[in-house]
Amino acid sequence: MYIQYVPATCESYCKCPTHSDGWPAQLEVAPKYMAEVEAIKPRLVDVLNGYLRAVALSELEDPTALIRLRAQMLRRLQVVAGEGRITDLLIMEFVLS
């Protein structure tokens, strides 16, 4: 099961052309935890926005940046949601401008 996630912007250099307020992603959630994860969605958005605001533009210029960002974001989501609830983070678009 998937939960659509569109966080606020991660500063001015990360914009998605189809979503003026950020970039689209989906959380892969174990079906039995869907309601629990939906209930803490504001907390998940907060933890990711805090992390993304701290990422320097120079870090995003590295070709491996998306892999590192995804791993860091997924780990933070899993810590907030609890063990076994969020199994993956799927980044649908990532555009730097």
Q: Tell me the pTM.
A: 0.75
Is the pLDDT higher at 21 or at 87? Answer: 87
- Which of 3, 7, 94 is closest to 47 using CA atoms? 7
Q: Residue 80's pLDDT is what? A: 96
Residue 59 lies in a domain: yes
Helix 65-81 and helix 41-54, axial crossing angle in degrees, nearest 10: 140
Say if residues 10 and 22 touch (Cβ distance below 8 Å). Answer: yes
Residue 16 lies in a domain: yes
Question: How much is the average pLDDT of 21-36?
Answer: 80
Residues of the domain holding 50: 2-91
- Residue 48 reports pLDDT greater than 70: yes
d(CA 3, CA 80): 15
Question: How much is the average pLDDT of 65-74?
Answer: 92
Domain count across the chain? 1
Residue 72 lies in a domain: yes
- Token duo for residue 18: 């189809």
